[in-house]
Chain A
Amino acid sequence: MDIIEYENKLINERVYEKKLSNGLKIFYMPKQGYTKQYAMFATNYGSNDLKFKSNSSNTMYNTPKGAAHFLEHKMFEEPEGNSFDRFANRGANVNAYTNFNTTAYYFTSTDSFYENLTDLINFVQSPYFTEENVEKEKGIIAQEIKMYDDNPDWKVYFNLLKAMYNDHTVKNEIAGTVESINKITKDDLYNCYNTFYNPSNMAVFIVGNLDKDKIFKTIEDAFKSISKNQDSIIIEKYYPDESESINKNIIEESMSVSSPLFYVGYKDTDLKLTGNKLLGKEIELRLLLDILFGKSSELFEILYNKGLVDDSFGGEYSGGINYGHCIIGGKSKEPKTVLNIINDYIDRKLETGLMKENFERIQKKQIGQCLNQLDSIEFVGSSFISYLFKDINFLEYIDVLNNITFEKVEKRFKNSFKGEKQVLSIIK
């Protein structure tokens, strides 16, 4: 099959794409001068995807919370030992992560790249789950869950999601709960695996100073030697119907922190966008949040000078295809006072409008940040994959950013901060 080339002259980067007959998409981004080699093999499956069906079994599965993350832990298991050994033998570091929408396995190396690549494909395509090894993992994952339970930054974020969402699975913690993971069985893991780890639901992204043809050939050869059914699969994912309204106005929880942490969130209801429409929305909101709540904003100056926030204060947008939220927050001795000031400020700004010079300056700032991020191979890798599963080519990010107009951001402002979509999470 043909190789497609994407080029972005502005940032002097290119990406080659090849799709294999089993449906797997492979991307390669050459980086001259880099010693580090990086490969990520990821599936379009994360903690949000609990209920699903596919054309290969036609059974509706409803899995316990934390199944995707549990599966990620167990993929490293092999009949003899674990897959870490082979990578370690070549000095490579292999690791994995699970988020709301993606499970990704990756390694970095400085040597023997193609051997590592073959091993990456092989271990992610060779599940080995037994009742015993699944049981044993529960103690380890329980400690991971408890580690996050002691992390106030994590807690304040997930409490915000719990306040915002009534039913959507994004409100669940990625690793699940100690209770839910104890319900997970070997069969659950195989069902998830057989559905989501089909090559047609997966992608490989590679960065480094490497040989493009050899990359594609290595992966094709690796799949040739795997003797399992590789027919493409059609997956249907089911998410609970999420109402446009919020669940609760506020969640407060006590932890041992010296001063309270807080997030103010706004539920996004402009959903179901994909591709560059979705990317455009994300960037518009990032610009908007930076203009309104960034370090050069009027609001930040007021709050900082009053001693109500420190330099951890700021705003960010995150979301997927069927959910999204703006969050603003940081540390404050008086989160509720900050909330009142924010509300007054938004009302006032909605009346006076935004200023174009602020927009232009923030746009320049975000262009610079984008260049900075391109210097990090890991950042490029995880961003590329996560955007790919939303039908977005990360290489175009800077162009979409450049093309956003002031008018678009103004329009976005009018609809993004509705009082009835606002929630507050406090850890004190």
Chain B
Amino acid sequence: MNKLKSEEITKNIFLHTFKENKFKTNLINFYFKRPLNKEEVTYNAILPMVLQRGTNVYKTSKDLVKKLEHLYGAHISGGVTKKGERQIIRFSMSIANENYVDDSNVLYEGLELLNDIITNPILNNGVFLNDYVNQEKENLKNKIKGRSNDKMKYAVDKCVEIMCENENYGIYEYGNIHDLQKITSESLYNHYRKVINNSELDVVVVGNTDHDKIKEILLEILDINISNPTSTEYRIEEVIPTKIKEVEDEMEVNQGKLTLGYRTNIPYYDNLYPALMVYSNVLGGGANCKLFRKVREEYSLCYYIFSRLEKYKSLMLISSGIEIENFNKAKDVIKKQLIEIEKGNITDKEMDYAKKNIVNSIKQLKDTPHDLAEYIYGQIISKSIEPLEKLIDKIESIKTEQVIEVSKNIKLDTIYFITNKR
């Protein structure tokens, strides 16, 4: 990526800028990397929520929001995601480029505000305000309880959790209510100090800005000193399921939600990984994939069906919404498509469409600031920053034999089904 500049601007703080003058807004993402484990998951989840409640300069959410509105609707969000067995705390700001608004200082003030939220929280007796912590505990509790409202997404998340119940990857990134109850303003503040002082921090910037200018601003305002970052290394172990787990949950649904979870045992750094990407696309990528053509178009069993990879955990998930009575039929038709690939029944056309589909999505990354920033951070985490062109070359060179090779590694681990209450 020739437009990407990466630099350790001060000890343990890495700045990565990608200059694109076509965008009218700048995106600035702060990523704090934490290990994903039961002890700190709930703490990490609530932290950005509390930090966004108030700073020593802007003491309430309302003051903060007003400032953001003055900055032409700059948008700040904070949250957590998991990338393999790591939990990433992300603070993100999208802000109008100064060329399009009547304020040349907007970027500086935006960064100042973002720094304020991250490093200068409002405190009482040296800890977070009780009111803010308690309110956000309630909000997080509702968020955790509300997970199952979106049945489509829940069916996939739950399948992963059942698959990985004895691995850290099975931990829900927003934590659990039991641990949440125990959080106090003091324990959260202590955790905050640890996160801010002992995490690897990457700042990714996409937009029409200069690397040196951002660097200069950050060096001036950023009030963070990081020493001894906590290690977030983890091993991707090979897992061969001994027997297939089958779990059914009864809920009030009109449509059954089926998810099949597979172990791929091909880590993202394996030479075969690009072939796995093609495999998943041939199987469940676009409107030309095997699953769509068979399960939807031939048998009219569903409206949506797809497969997707969990890059940092070597999993593949297939998900679909079906008539409840068609559970066995859908499951059989899906499994049969994997067998077809294993038998080598892949046409040149299927290979060609899948590869082109992936290449097209890679090329389009560059046109969406958020996708581009996430892609860059993904590369940082993988410790292999390579130009998009190189990844495209890899995908294009994949042979059918490699996809068949991939299929030998893919093992069904868990079948999860949300059915209606009988």
Contact = CB atoms under 8 A, between A and B. Distances in A.
B151 A36 contact: no
A255 B146 CA distance: 12
A150 B149 CA distance: 9
A257 to B, nearest CB: 5
Interface residues of B, number: 71
Scoring A92, A136, A307, A310 by chain B CB atoms within 10 A of each residue's CB, the highest score goes to A310
B356 A144 contact: no
A336 B162 CA distance: 38
B75 interface: yes
Contact of A147 (B24, B68, B255): B255
A231 B357 CA distance: 38
B82 to A, nearest CB: 21
B366 A84 contact: no
A32 interface: yes
B135 to A, nearest CB: 6
A257 B139 CA distance: 15
A171 interface: no
B364 A368 contact: no
B210 interface: no
A256 B251 contact: yes
Interface stretch (A117-125, A181-189, A195-203, A357-365): A357-365
B386 interface: no
A305 B135 contact: yes
A304 B286 CA distance: 42
A91 B72 contact: no
Given A91-B356, A307-B138, A33 B21 contact: yes
A258 B151 contact: no
A84 B349 CA distance: 13
A306 to B, nearest CB: 9
Interface in B47-85: 60-62, 65-66, 68-75
A369 B68 CA distance: 12
Interface string B268-299: 00000000000000000011100000001100
Contact of B66 (A33, A94, A361): A361
B146 A258 contact: yes
Given A152-B149, A371-B101, A375-B369, A90 B356 contact: yes
Contact of A92 (B75, B254, B360, B369): B360
A161 to B, nearest CB: 19
Given A152-B149, A371-B24, A35 B321 contact: no
A11 B69 contact: no
Contacts of A34: 22, 367
Interface in B140-197: 142-143, 145-152
B73 A372 contact: yes
A343 to B, nearest CB: 22
Contacts of A364: 69-70, 72-73
Contacts of B234: none
Nearest to B25: A372
Interface string B85-97: 0000000001111
Contacts of B152: 147, 150-151
A140 interface: yes
A304 B97 contact: no
B252 A301 contact: no
B300 A136 contact: yes
Given A85-B288, A362-B69, A146 B22 contact: no
A427 to B, nearest CB: 9
Contact of A365 (B22, B72, B149, B257): B72
Contacts of B147: 258
Nearest to B143: A310
B141 to A, nearest CB: 10
B20 interface: yes
Contact of A139 (B73, B146, B300): B300
Interface string A53-93: 00000000000000000000000000000101100111111
Interface string B352-381: 110011011001101111000000000000
Given A364-B70, A371-B96, A143 B360 contact: no
A176 to B, nearest CB: 14
Given A90-B356, A368-B72, A368-B74, A84 B142 contact: no
A296 B296 contact: no
Contacts of A163: none
Interface in A319-334: 331
Given A150-B253, A150-B255, A364-B73, A331 B146 contact: yes
Given A93-B357, A371-B96, 6 more contacts: A10-B100, A82-B297, A149-B255, A150-B151, A150-B254, A258-B142
Closest 7 CB pairs of A and B: A91-B356, A368-B72, A139-B300, A368-B73, A33-B22, A365-B73, A146-B255
